[in-house]
Amino acid sequence: MSETLLDVKGMNCPLPVLRANRALRALAPGDRLRVLATDRAAVADFQAFCRETGHALVAMGEESGVLSFVIRKKEAP
């Protein structure tokens, strides 16, 4: 299991989620994607994205105005 970093700081909704979706497609099931964002709307966007797609939002936090989301790609059906 690996972790990939995606920096989308400075991008506004819906770009952080769209970029994360594209990055997740390239990952293996169970791999993690850490997303760094500054758009406050990303909190609700990533929660809804994970709920709708089946990926797991395993961690969420903020440090110095930068939001961090860790998403685990769902297992293959």
- Selecting among 11, 13, 56, 70, the annotated active-site residue is 13
- Known active-site residue 50: no
Measure the CA–CA gap between 40 and 22, rounded to whole angstroms.
Answer: 21
Q: Give the residue ranges of DSSP H helices in 1-73.
A: 15-25, 42-53
Measure the CA–CA gap between 5 and 36, rounded to whole angstroms.
Answer: 8
Q: Are 20 and 68 in contact (CB under 8 A)?
A: no
- Which residue numbers are catalytic? 13
